[in-house]
Amino acid sequence: MRSNKINPLFSPILSLSGIGPKLDVLFQRLVGPRLVHLLWHLPYNIIKRKFINNIIEAEINSLITFKVDVIKHKPSYFSSKAPYKISCLCGDTPVTLVFFYARQPYIKTVLPEGESRFISGKLEYFKNTYQITHPSHIVEIDKLNTLKNIEPVYSLTAGLTHNIYIKTIDKILQKIPDLEEWIDEKIINKYFFNDWKNSLLKSHQPTSKDDLMESNIYRKRLAYDELLAHQLAIAIIRNYNQKTKGIKFNQNLNLVFKCINNLPFKLTQSQKKAWKEIFEDLTSPHQMIRLLQGDTGSGKTVIALLSLIHAIDSSYQGVLMAPTSILAQQHFNNLSTILKPLNINILLLTGKDTGNSRLEKLSLIKTGEAQIIIGTHALIQDDVSYHSIGLVVCDESHRFGVFQRLSLTNKGKKPNVLTMSGTPIPRTLALAAYGNIDQSRLTEKPEGRIPINTKSIPISKVNDLINRLTNKIETNEKIYWVCSLVEESEELDLQAATKRFESLNRKFKGKVLLIHGQLKEKEKENVMKKFQNEDYSILVATTVIEVGVDVPLATTMIIENAERFGLSSLHQIRGRIGRNNMPANCILLFKENIGELAKKRIAKMKETNDGFEIAEHDSLLRGEGDRIGKKQSGQPSFLIADLAFDKELLEDARKTVEFISNNDPKLENENGLRLRNLLHLFEKDVAIKTLLAG
The residues binding ligand ADP (CB under 6 A) are 265-268, 271, 294, 296-302, 422, 446-447, 548
Closest distance of CB 619 from ligand ADP, Å:
21
- Residues 227, 646: contact at Cβ < 8 Å? yes
**Among residues 298 and 619, whose Cβ is nearest to ligand ADP?**
298
Q: Is 424 in the site for Mg ion (CB under 5 A)?
A: no
Site stretch for Mg ion (CB under 5 A), options 242-250, 350-358, 545-553, 683-691: 545-553
Residue 497's binding partner among Mg ion, ligand ADP, none (Cβ under 5 to 8 angstroms by kind) is none
CA distance 682 to 693: 20
Site stretch for Mg ion (CB under 5 A), options 172-180, 542-550, 558-566, 673-681: 542-550
Closest distance of CB 320 from ligand ADP, Å:
12
Closest distance of CB 345 from Mg ion, Å:
23
- Residues 159, 494: contact at Cβ < 8 Å? no
- Binding-site string for Mg ion from residue 101 to residue 140, where x marks contact by CB under 5 A and - marks none: ----------------------------------------
Residue 298's binding partner among Mg ion, ligand ADP, none (Cβ under 5 to 8 angstroms by kind) is ligand ADP
**Among residues 547 and 597, whose Cβ is nearest to ligand ADP?**
547
Long-range residue pairs from 457-466, CB within 8 A, at least 24 positions apart, any chain: 457/587, 457/588, 457/589, 457/590, 458/589, 458/590, 458/591, 458/592, 459/560, 459/561, 459/589, 459/590, 459/591, 459/592, 460/592, 462/589, 465/558, 465/587, 465/589, 466/504, 466/507
Q: Is 548 in the site for Mg ion (CB under 5 A)?
A: yes
Residue 265's binding partner among ligand ADP, Mg ion, none (Cβ under 5 to 8 angstroms by kind) is ligand ADP
Q: Is 575 in the site for Mg ion (CB under 5 A)?
A: no
Site stretch for Mg ion (CB under 5 A), options 2-10, 182-190, 456-464, 544-552: 544-552
- Residues 447, 268: contact at Cβ < 8 Å? yes
Residue 271's binding partner among ligand ADP, Mg ion, none (Cβ under 5 to 8 angstroms by kind) is ligand ADP
b/e per residue 596-622 (b: at least 16 CB within 10 A): ebbebbbebbeeebbbbebbbbbbebb
Q: Is 297 in the site for Mg ion (CB under 5 A)?
A: no
Element spanning 498, H or E: helix 490-507
- Residues 146, 122: contact at Cβ < 8 Å? no
For Mg ion, which residue has the nearest CB?
548
Closest distance of CB 152 from Mg ion, Å:
39
A 10 A CB-CB count for 590 gives 20
Question: In what side-by-side order are the strands of the sheet with 512-515?
Answer: 453-458, 585-590, 554-559, 478-482, 538-541, 512-515
* Type of residue numbered 590: F
Closest distance of CB 60 from ligand ADP, Å:
52
Choose among 446, 389, 381: nearest CA to 414: 389
| Those residues with Cβ within 8 angstroms of residue 406's Cβ, 6 or more apart along the chain or in another chain | 380, 392, 414, 415, 417
Closest distance of CB 528 from ligand ADP, Å:
16
Rounded to the nearest 10 degrees, what angle do helices 596-607 and 567-574 cross at? 30
Number of residues this chain uses to bind Mg ion (CB under 5 A): 1
**Among residues 435 and 548, whose Cβ is nearest to Mg ion?**
548
**Among residues 301 and 376, whose Cβ is nearest to ligand ADP?**
301
Report in angstroms the alpha-carbon separations of 304 from 290, 335, 392, 418: 12, 10, 9, 8
Closest distance of CB 616 from ligand ADP, Å:
19
Site stretch for Mg ion (CB under 5 A), options 114-122, 401-409, 524-532, 541-549: 541-549
> Residue 97: beta bridge partners?
86, 132
> Residue 133: beta bridge partners?
98
Residue 573's binding partner among ligand ADP, Mg ion, none (Cβ under 5 to 8 angstroms by kind) is none
**Among residues 35 and 420, whose Cβ is nearest to Mg ion?**
420
* Type of residue numbered 520: K
Residue 302's binding partner among ligand ADP, Mg ion, none (Cβ under 5 to 8 angstroms by kind) is ligand ADP
Residue 177's binding partner among ligand ADP, Mg ion, none (Cβ under 5 to 8 angstroms by kind) is none
Closest distance of CB 448 from ligand ADP, Å:
7
CA distance 49 to 43: 17
Element spanning 608, H or E: none
**Among residues 297 and 636, whose Cβ is nearest to ligand ADP?**
297
CA distance 603 to 606: 5
CA distance 615 to 498: 31
Q: Is 566 in the site for Mg ion (CB under 5 A)?
A: no
Closest distance of CB 601 from ligand ADP, Å:
22
Closest distance of CB 7 from ligand ADP, Å:
43
Closest distance of CB 374 from Mg ion, Å:
13
Residue 83's binding partner among Mg ion, ligand ADP, none (Cβ under 5 to 8 angstroms by kind) is none
A 10 A CB-CB count for 161 gives 13
**Among residues 305 and 588, whose Cβ is nearest to ligand ADP?**
305
Binding site residues, Mg ion, CB under 5 A: 548
